[in-house]
Amino acid sequence: MNKSALREQILSRLQADLAQQTAAAHLARDEAISEESRPENQYDTHSLEAGYLAEGQARLAAEIRASIEFYQALVPADFGPGVPVAVGALVELQARGQGSWYFLGPRAGGLEIPLDGTTVLVLTPQSPLGRELLGRREGDQVRVPGRGGSTAHRITVVR
């Protein structure tokens, strides 16, 4: 798997999310300041609620913008046997004959990125699995939290 291609796909997804979130923030702002949103009486809170929504959406857009900056600055490092997992590592975990791929990124955890016929899940060091992977090496076992407890997985590849 090519980590540069993965990084580009993450950036592409984040930029699409930013465009969508920015548009939503603009719409909410326009709603908050429109003449039709003026309160009709002291109990009418429509414009106040629209203002709160616009502020929240603007904050989310700023978070996505910050994530884009982190990924633009990220230089995919080479990992391999004996090199501990750190931010920028692409990791395969195996359990019961099935493998799952994870990318330990600086931000934007939870993104699922299709790459080379498989799906790579972006994790952050703040997530439970991200914390579990940090500092581990190929061949180590980690506990993957899930429904009904956690299961043991073996780290088979670190790139």
pLDDT band at 100; cut points 50, 70, 90: very high
- Tens of pLDDT, residue by residue over 42-90, are 877 888 898 899 999 999 999 999 999 999 999 988 897 889 999 999 9
Q: What's the whole-model pTM score?
A: 0.88
- 96 shares its domain with 145: yes
Q: What is the mean pLDDT of residues 100-128?
A: 96
Instruction: Give the pair of three-digit tokens for residue 16.
Output: 């699409």
- 127 shares its domain with 66: no
Q: What is the mean pLDDT of residues 93-122?
A: 95
- 8 shares its domain with 68: yes
Determine, yes or no, domain membership for 49.
yes
Domain with 58 in it: 3-73
Q: What is the mean pLDDT of residues 107-120?
A: 95
Determine, yes or no, domain membership for 82.
no
- Tens of pLDDT, residue by residue over 126-137, are 999 999 999 999
Cα(142)–Cα(8) distance, integer angstroms: 28
- Tens of pLDDT, residue by residue over 7-34, are 999 999 999 999 999 999 999 899 888 8
Looking at 47, 73, 99, the residue that finishes a domain is 73
Q: What is the CATH number of the domain that holds 138?
A: 3.10.50.30
Determine, yes or no, domain membership for 78.
no
- One-character DSSP codes across 120-152: EEEE-TTSHHHHHHTT--TT-EEEEEETTEEEE
Distance in Å from the first CA to the final CA of the chain:
9
Determine, yes or no, domain membership for 83.
no
Domain count, the chain: 2
